[in-house]
Chains A and B, each alone.
Chain A
Amino acid sequence: MKKISFALSYLVLIGFLLSCKQKPAIIMDPIAIVEAKGYAIPVYDFENFKVLLGKKDDKIRVVNFWATWCKPCIEEMPYFELVNSAYADKNVEVILVSLDVPSQIESKLIPYLERQNIQSQVVVLDDPDANSWIPKVDEDWTGAIPATYIYKGNECYFYEQSFSYNELEKELKKFIP
């Protein structure tokens, strides 16, 4: 009897652990930093980038996967910017993960950031072997962008979809008491 309930509670515990990703805390080490027009954009491979998906502090992180060539990503960009500014005092941080190729950081990405006056943190993820890392972000992600990962500590949600501001705010509010 005791054994069974012990086994079951163990199962429950596993269920909880599986529901969020465990990422080791290591220092992020960029492959390169591309500088132009006052911007300094770090470029990471997935091994270093994944630290951003598993920080165990009090912050709510909204991690948006996008690229300048992705039209639906650009359409929802103002909403992420608005969340970043409107919820800054609620311990929310938006991280824009660009999948632009590094050779276009200076020619496309930085001009876009400048033109749109983007204030959120921007990093470039450059790891061509996407099949190896996409499932590590989320098992259900097919690889289409835009995609967004929102987490705080061990609580996390993943969305392979476009957002309106109201939809994004609604998801964010799940984290804010």
Chain B
Amino acid sequence: MKSIRIIVAVAFMVLISSFAINQVGNSNSDSGYAIGDAATDFKLRNIDDSFVSLSDYPEAKGFIIIFTCNHCPYSVAYEDRIIALDQKYKSQGYPVVAINPNNPKAYPEDSFEKMKERAASKQFTFPYLFDEDQTIYPQYGATKTPHVYVLKKENKALRVKYIGAIDNNYKDADKADQKYVGNAVDALLSGKAVPVETTRAIGCSIKS
């Protein structure tokens, strides 16, 4: 009997250590939201110099929160699709709220002034907020741009329903046959379960 216990202990130690090896170097994989978590509201400066919070939208059923920025080619590749998402879903209760999480000292192109310029030239239809103190993106667990969180209002909480990419082809919107964010919001609007809850995509790491 005693020997069984020893074997169990040894097996556990070996198992745990083999997992621990794989964990080395992953500093940010365990932080941030998972599906079903309640997301935080925020108060961040918009490109029109007003402050925007999610509580400013009492009519909204939820939100498409997109961490994005000016400098990242993947963000730029998705700009038109982000505008299209806002145009399609704002009227249905799921507006886009874009947040630039980068430190402009690391990326001068992501400064507040440049955000204003970019939003004006692309005629963004949604708020483009600046996470100036860099306190919001770590709470969400965003690691890169673009990085999307679809939230749904449930009672008083904002529940995370989808985390990940906009679709499955950053290069060519026409070739994207999995519209992850659109499918998620469509499902939420019709009271169904979100078909794909988390996805991953290459993106530009957020710099502090």
User: B200, A142: Cβ atoms under 8 Å?
Assistant: yes
**Contact at B204–A70, with CB atoms within 8 Å?**
yes
**Chain B nearest Cβ from A165, distance in angstroms:** 16
Within 8 A of B (CB), among A19-77: 19, 67, 69-72
A79 within 8 A of B: no
For B168, the chain A residues whose CB sits under 8 A away are 128-132
Alpha-carbon distance A88/B204, docked complex (angstroms)? 30
Task: State the Cβ distance, B44 to closest chain A Cβ, in Å.
Answer: 22
- The listed residue with most A CB atoms (<10 A of its CB), out of B106, B164, B180, B205, is B205
Q: Which residues of chain B are near A5, meaning CB under 8 Å?
A: 3-4, 7
Decide yes or no: A69 and B73 within 8 Å by CB, A4-B4, A158-B25, A159-B26 being known contacts. yes
Which A residues are in CB contact (< 8 Å) with B23? Answer: 140
Contact partner, B28, options A1, A11, A142, Cβ 8 Å: A142
Which chain B residues lie closer than 8 Å to A128 at the CB level?
Answer: 168-172, 175
Which secondary structure dominates chain A's binding surface?
Answer: mixed
Say yes or no: A131-B18 contact (C-beta < 8 A), given A70-B204, A144-B204, A160-B28: no
Cα–Cα, bound, A19→B144 (Å): 26
Q: Tell me the count of chain A residues lying within 8 A, CB to CB, of chain B.
A: 39
Q: Which of A1, A16, A99, A145 contacts B205 (CB 8 A)?
A: A145
Name the one of A11, A158, A160, A162 contacting B15, with C-beta atoms under 8 angstroms.
A11
| B residues in contact with A131, CB < 8 Å | 164-165, 168, 178, 180, 199-201
Is A78 an interface residue when CB atoms closer than 8 A count as contact?
A: no
With A11-B15, A19-B19: A144-B144 Cβ-Cβ less than 8 Å = yes
Q: Is the CB of B18 within 8 A of A15?
A: yes
Per the bound structure, the CA–CA distance linking A5 and B23 in Å amounts to 27
User: B residues bordering A, Cβ < 8 Å?
Assistant: 3-4, 7-8, 11, 14-15, 18-19, 21-29, 71-73, 106-107, 143-144, 147, 164-165, 168-172, 175, 178, 180, 199-207
A-B CB proximity, top 7 nearest: A159-B25, A144-B144, A144-B205, A140-B29, A131-B199, A134-B200, A19-B18
